[in-house]
Structure 1
Amino acid sequence: MPFDDELVIADEVGSQLIRLVRLIERKQVQYQAEHPDAVERATYHLLVHLVNDGPRRAGSLAEAVHSDPSTISRQIGHLVRLGLVERTADPVDGRATLLAATDEGRRVFEENRRLRNERIAEMLAGWSPDDRHALAELLARFTSDFENSMLRSAEAAAAATIDAAAVRS
């Protein structure tokens, strides 16, 4: 059981994360209202993975973003219609399809990344270099720990399901 101090700090971190997520969501809603043709954040996240990780099958992409294949299919269809993603035959298995970012998809990604980085740099301009580096390091560490915690929970749930099935049989 964590100490009371740890729970107080965890409560503050949780509260600040909720505040940050709400601010990001509010900004996204505002952006969507001002740019009705803009790609939704969840859909754009697929493009990010395809640019950063290269071509992949839809199932692999769904796993990477922790989503279900039907949602991915709809979102990829939107990106294909916009010309940001293309479908090609998998060279290993011609019956399968690979998804890949187009040149336009990579251009849009790079432009969005540049704008995001400029906004963040502007927000952090008054911070000391040490504070900026500490934020980047701690945020990366927290995100990795959060992701690993999710994976452990999913593994534990899968093991419990298998154990329950074994007991029933």
Structure 2
Amino acid sequence: MTSQNQPVPVDDEELLDNVGPALSRLRRRVGGGRGDLTRNIVLNVIGEAAGRVTVGGVAEEMGVAQPVASRAIAACISDGLVRRIASQRDGRSTLLELTDEGESARRSYAQAQRHAFEEITAHWQSEDRLQFARFLHRYGQDARAWSARDRAAPDETQG
């Protein structure tokens, strides 16, 4: 048993079946609090898009309905972390960008996550810790590419 009373998977299939729940636990436990986690996701999506994302784009990246993303973004705007800007290509479209305070909050959260990672893995061998970090980064990049391909694929149910 692990420290959280989760049985250790006994074979490869069980291990793979438990990836999703493990990622979910990781996200919940290292996030700080639900509001902090949501805010961090919003800040990262907007920061990574570098002034080229709308509320709808944030909703899509978060995998939530637009009203959910809109409320989270409104809270970030109210806190001075995000601002709306006019699109230079489409005057009807409003884009989002981080303020200096938003970028600072994003960096601060990343530092807190690194600190948590280092504490959680403190008893690991250095090469294991770095390899896991590489795999997490790679997984994130591949998940983004997979998600983009999935959104770009035509809906086969309508043809």
TM over 0.5: yes
Partner of 2:65: 68
Structure 1 gap ranges (5+): 1-6, 33-37, 164-169
Partner of 1:51: 47
Partner of 1:162: 158
Q: Which structure dedicates a bigger proportion of its chain to helix?
A: 1
Larger radius of gyration between Structure 1 and Structure 2: 1
Greater CA deviation, 85-94 or 130-139? 130-139
Partner of 1:120: 117
Paired AA for residue 107 in structure 1: S
Corresponding residue SS for 1:94: coil
Greater CA deviation, 136-145 or 83-92? 136-145
What is the distance in 2 between the residues matched to 1:149 and 1:99? 24
How many residues are treated as equivalent by the alignment?
Answer: 149
Partner of 1:42: 38
What is the distance in 2 between the residues matched to 1:153 and 1:94? 29
Partner of 1:97: 94
Q: Given the two structures, how large is their TM-score scaled by the length of structure 1?
A: 0.69
What is the distance in 2 between the residues matched to 1:81 and 1:44? 15
Q: Given the two structures, how large is their TM-score scaled by the length of structure 2?
A: 0.72
Structure 2 gap ranges (5+): 1-9
What is the distance in 1 between the residues matched to 2:24 and 2:138? 18
What is the distance in 1 between the residues matched to 2:152 and 2:86? 33
CA apart distance, 1:50: 1.3
Partner of 1:4: none
